[in-house]
Amino acid sequence: MDRTLDREWFESDAPLLAPQLLNKLLVADIDGVICSGRIIETEAYMPDDPASHTYRGETKRNTVMFGSPGHLYVYLSYGIHQCANVVTGPVGSGQGVLIRAVEPVEGIDAMRVRRNRPDRELANGPGKLCQALGIGDRHNGADLLGSDVAIVDDGLAPPSVPLVGPRIGISRATTTPWRFRRPSD
């Protein structure tokens, strides 16, 4: 049985919560089409981290990151791809977890239409998964506890020993080991 996580669950600091998000389900009900994917890769970002969108403080763009945990911060990367972060930590802290990849579970036919790529490329990157699930800028600030985008726990525990390494796709703080992945099956 799937259960939506509660707000308190999201109040942990991003580097602690990022590996706990592995194996949770990211579910999107967009225009009546339900798609979901199992989270298999994440990256953590803290406010004192030069790679974080909150490093220089609160702005109009990143204000969601300073809000209540358990919301979605969606931003445009390189002017092309929408990316989704889970807001974590206490209100005002400016931290979050980028969802880097999901393994498609439900609504795969809709994902194929949205992506028009081979199945292995449907959701294996932050921009790809947003496109596949239908997550866009209109979801910036969405409450993951009660909107058309949610993170749910279906009982599959996170890996006891996730793969940990440096973050990718950034130019600052590249050696910080806050990238977490599910080991290959």
- 87: β partners: 96
Q: Where are the beta strands (DSSP E) in 31-162?
A: 33-45, 72-77, 81-88, 95-106, 149-153
Mean pLDDT in residue range 7-28: 96
Domain range annotation of the chain:
3-155
* Sequence letter at residue 98: L
The two tokens of residue 100 are 């880097």
Q: Phi and psi at residue 100, in whole multiples of 5°?
A: -90, -30
Query: Is 0.85 surpassed by the pTM of this model?
Result: yes
pLDDT recorded at residue 90: 94
Query: Do 51 and 166 contact (CB within 8 A), yes or no?
Result: no
What is the CATH topology of the domain spanning 3-155?
3-methyladenine DNA Glycosylase; Chain A (3.10.300)
Residue among 135, 169, 131 at smallest CA distance from 150? 135
User: Which of the residue ranges 9-23, 56-70, 103-117, 118-132 would you say has the lowest mean pLDDT?
Assistant: 56-70
pLDDT recorded at residue 144: 96
pLDDT recorded at residue 175: 75
159 vs 174: CA distance, rounded Å: 24
Q: Which helix (H) or strand (E) holds 156?
A: none
Mean pLDDT in residue range 95-123: 96
